[in-house]
Amino acid sequence: MLTPNLDFQNKTILVTGAAGFIGANLVKALLAGEESLRVVGIDNLNDYYDVAIKNYRLDEIEALAEKKPGSWRFVKGSIADKKVLEELFEKERPALVVNLAAQAGVRYSISNPDAYVESNLIGFYNILEACRHYPVEHLVYASSSSVYGSNKKVPYSTDDKVDNPVSLYAATKKSNELMAHAYSKLYEIPSTGLRFFTVYGPAGRPDMAYFGFTDKLLRNETIRIFNYGNCKRDFTYVDDIVEGVLRVMRASPEKAIGEDGLPLPPYRIYNIGNNHPENLLDFVEILQEELVKAGVLPPDYDFEAHKELVPMQPGDVPVTYADTSSLEEDFGFKPSTGLREGLARFAAWYKEFYRI
């Protein structure tokens, strides 16, 4: 077990992508904690998906922040804008930075590569430069399970080679890890990368399968299940992701000496996943049951008539499966929310948000 070497008391914490799915839930967890802290969030509120959901998340944050005056500041801006970021670091001097801003989505990267280069490469470079010139105690950043590409060995371990990305999105996330390693080595920036595995939950991203399936079923449309239903995904509930991030934030990598007597960069990588991949057909069955229970869909809904089994899409992989042993060993933590429980919470939120 690692001993936490940071606390949040009286610290300023910068969360990028603060209106995003993971970012907003992390901000809420920080504000709901007992420490006296200040959270600064930045997000460009782009229209990759429905901005109303991003505003909904920000409204929830604002409601929490009202109980702690001065604890929250939101900046609408892009991390790809170096001037905006420099001014933010100059004014706020964050002690910890959690970079969750990124252009997400594997399939979108095939048709819109510019968005990924701007946000995931230029934006992340700007974050590293800011951390270099305004030293921070810990930089935590989002990587992705997509870096494992078409690796055949499962479960995926952080010790595995990740040199075969099957999408530009995956390539940008691998690039983030390499860039962070270089900056940790050159400028002794303590950094930890987190490879997230298929995050889901209430107020999630509409481009994710469970959300898109729900939208289509409600519109009486057919849902397409890729690889003829033979895909497996390590679905990870958002609260488990946030708990993992919080624990990692408190343990900043420290300088060490390697076996060759040379200094090692203060740099670590972890998987955060459920360590229990679910078959996509089983996942769809649980989702439909919970949508009926929540009253989103009627009890007599004909699901079989609304399913279409189709081949694998470009950029997709057949399985994601996290080896979380290092996360368990270092932090005593393993995600624990079951798929049915998580989808039930999503279905209840969906019914309320869309007033069904």
| CATH no., domain 12-198+237-274+321-336 | 3.40.50.720
Q: What is the pLDDT of residues 241-265, one digit of tens each?
A: 999 999 999 999 998 887 877 788 9
Is 186's pLDDT higher than 80?
Answer: yes
pLDDT of residue 261: 77
Q: How far apart are CA 254 and CA 142, in angstroms?
A: 20
Lowest-confidence range among 106-115, 122-131, 212-221, 325-334? 106-115
Is 313's pLDDT higher than 80?
Answer: no
Is 62's pLDDT higher than 70?
Answer: yes
Q: Which of 337, 354, 235 is nearest to 297 (CA)?
A: 354
Confidence of residue 210 (pLDDT cuts 50, 70, 90): very high
Is residue 192 within 8 A of residue 326, CB to CB? The reply is: no
In this prediction, what percent of the chain has a pLDDT beyond 70?
99
Is residue 233 within 8 A of residue 181, CB to CB? The reply is: no
Packing angle between helix 209-218 and helix 280-294, nearest 10 degrees? 50
DSSP H or E run through 143: strand 138-144
Nearest-5° Cα angle at 171, 167 to 177: 150
Is 109's pLDDT higher than 90?
Answer: no
Tell me the domain boundaries of the chain. 12-198+237-274+321-336
In this prediction, what percent of the chain has a pLDDT beyond 90?
80
Tokens of 109: 């990267």
pLDDT of residue 315: 64
Dihedral over Cα of 256, 257, 263, 264: its sign: negative
| Residues designated as active site | 169
Residue 300 has what DSSP assignment? T
Is 141's pLDDT higher than 80?
Answer: yes
Mean pLDDT across the chain? 94
How large is the average pLDDT for residues 40-47? Answer: 96
pTM above 0.75, yes or no: yes
Is residue 93 within 8 A of residue 8, CB to CB? The reply is: no
